[in-house]
């Protein structure tokens, strides 16, 4: 499935070359390759991929680069924290966390039509969402022992994010107007997001999840870094080694347990919502929890709450995704995909509710 073209990539190439020449005056004869923009990815941020070549001190140089552009049209998320993604990546990278190296932030929307930031294109490939990695792709093609090594590397990168952020220093992510703690703030944010995304239409599964959560709010309410979109499909792998952790649009101070709950829910969704069996070699739910606890030194509390919260958030995102795909004529406008989708199917199962309808696949 290809996304509708968002811009003239040839013109973008010229604009970026001129902009980058100004940022790197030492790069003589700077030229860019053709720019590509991947399909069925980057729904919340536009992604531009290219190689820059130049001469410096008489020697040829080149580097693979990525530009992420702040969305200006249809929004998946209630609010945009685009500049905070960049700042978080800067801070985590400085601490040695496995995130892409970021270079420059451009706040002037006149350059590309919106603010953007430049980062190095890290080595590796990401597992697929659609089709999911349990059905095809490089993880599917691996032997179980290789998958096990890949999963262990992924867990190492996942837990290092929490280890490197434990000292704090991410107070700029706080939203004190939404609550006293990071968890309170993110809960209130997603309650607002739910009202915004459903547009007054009934959402029985998501509503039931919110009611269940309201009755089971944890006593311990952390204020610490949460990656937000913690899942194996948001990692790059060179062979079986995780080289980088991607996609920080959902970063918050909701705490590390929120990431663990999201990881577990999305791992379950990647199999169940497509009627697939999880691949041999990938860690089980129990192994994931045990290894996460061992490597972070944390004993996860209220994990059922965080898994339901993950399903609720993903259901809200799917409401917006369904609306977007209908606008692009990828889905039947009359289909009830905002209410009945893979996220609500799995969430209903967790809550012991009847399914919202017959399962469907993108």
pLDDT at residue 125 tops 80: yes
Tell how strand 59-69 and strand 102-106 pair up. Answer: unpaired
Q: What is the CATH number for 239? A: 3.90.1200.10
Residue 357 placed within a domain: no
Of the pLDDT bands very low, low, confident and very high (cuts 50, 70, 90), residue 37 is confident
pLDDT by residue (tens digit) across 51-98? Answer: 999 999 999 999 999 999 998 888 899 998 899 999 999 999 999 999
* Angle formed at CA 190 by CA 187 and CA 194, multiple of 5 degrees: 140
**DSSP letter for each residue of 306-355:** HHHHHHHHHHHHHHHHHHHHHHTTSS-TTS-TTTSSHHHHHHHHHHTPPP
Closest residue by Cα to residue 97 from 150, 162, 171: 162
How far is Cα 251 from Cα 259, in angstroms, rounded to an integer?
Answer: 10
190 lies in the same domain as 320: yes
pLDDT by residue (tens digit) across 326-342? Answer: 887 878 877 889 999 99
Closest residue by Cα to residue 116 from 227, 244, 7: 7
- Which residue range is the domain that position 91 belongs to? 9-120
Residue 137 placed within a domain: no
Across residues 17-30, what is the average pLDDT? 96
188 lies in the same domain as 328: yes
265 lies in the same domain as 150: yes
The pLDDT of residue 39 is: 56
Q: Where are the beta strands (DSSP E) in 121-268?
A: 235-238, 241-245
pLDDT at residue 42 tops 80: no
Residue 134 placed within a domain: no
104 lies in the same domain as 227: no
Kindly report the pTM of this predicted structure: 0.94
152 lies in the same domain as 109: no
pLDDT by residue (tens digit) across 107-118? Answer: 999 999 999 999
81 lies in the same domain as 45: yes
14 lies in the same domain as 110: yes
The pLDDT of residue 73 is: 81
Number of domains in the chain: 2
247 lies in the same domain as 329: yes
3 state SS of 220: coil
């Amino acid at each position: 499935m290809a996304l509708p073209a968002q811009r003239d990539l040839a013109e973008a190439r010229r604009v970026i070359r001129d902009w980058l020449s100004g940022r790197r005056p030492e790069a003589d004869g700077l030229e860019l390759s053709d720019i590509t923009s991947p399909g069925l990815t980057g729904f919340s941020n536009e992604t531009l991929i290219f190689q820059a070549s130049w001469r410096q001190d008489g020697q040829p140089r080149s580097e693979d680069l990525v530009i992420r552009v702040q969305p200006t049209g249809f929004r998946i998320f209630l609010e945009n924290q685009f500049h905070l993604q960049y700042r978080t990546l800067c801070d985590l990278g400085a601490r040695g966390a496995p995130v892409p190296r970021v270079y420059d932030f451009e706040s002037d929307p006149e350059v590309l039509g919106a603010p953007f930031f430049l980062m190095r294109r890290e080595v590796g490939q990401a597992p697929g969402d659609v089709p999911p990695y349990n059905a095809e792709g490089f993880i599917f093609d691996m032997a179980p022992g290789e998958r096990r090594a890949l999963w262990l590397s992924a867990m190492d990168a996942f837990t290092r994010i929490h280890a490197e952020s434990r000292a704090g220093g991410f107070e700029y992510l706080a939203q004190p107007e939404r609550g006293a703690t990071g968890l309170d703030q993110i809960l209130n944010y997603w309650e607002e997001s739910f009202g915004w995304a459903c547009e007054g239409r009934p959402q029985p599964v998501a509503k039931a999840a919110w009611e269940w959560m309201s009755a089971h709010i944890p006593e311990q309410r952390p204020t610490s870094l949460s990656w937000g979109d913690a899942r194996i499909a948001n990692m790059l792998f060179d062979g079986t080694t995780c080289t980088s952790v991607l996609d920080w649009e959902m970063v918050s101070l909701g705490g590390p347990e929120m990431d663990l709950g999201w990881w577990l829910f999305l791992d379950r969704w990647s199999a169940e919502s497509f009627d697939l069996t999880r691949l041999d070699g990938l860690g089980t739910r129990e192994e994931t929890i045990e290894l996460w606890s061992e490597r972070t030194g944390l004993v996860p509390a209220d994990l059922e709450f965080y898994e339901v919260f993950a399903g609720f958030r993903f259901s809200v995102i799917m409401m917006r995704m369904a609306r977007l795909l209908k606008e692009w004529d990828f889905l039947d406008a009359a289909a009830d995909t905002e209410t009945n989708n893979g996220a609500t199917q799995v969430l209903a199962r967790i809550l012991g509710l009847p399914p919202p309808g017959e399962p469907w696949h993108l």
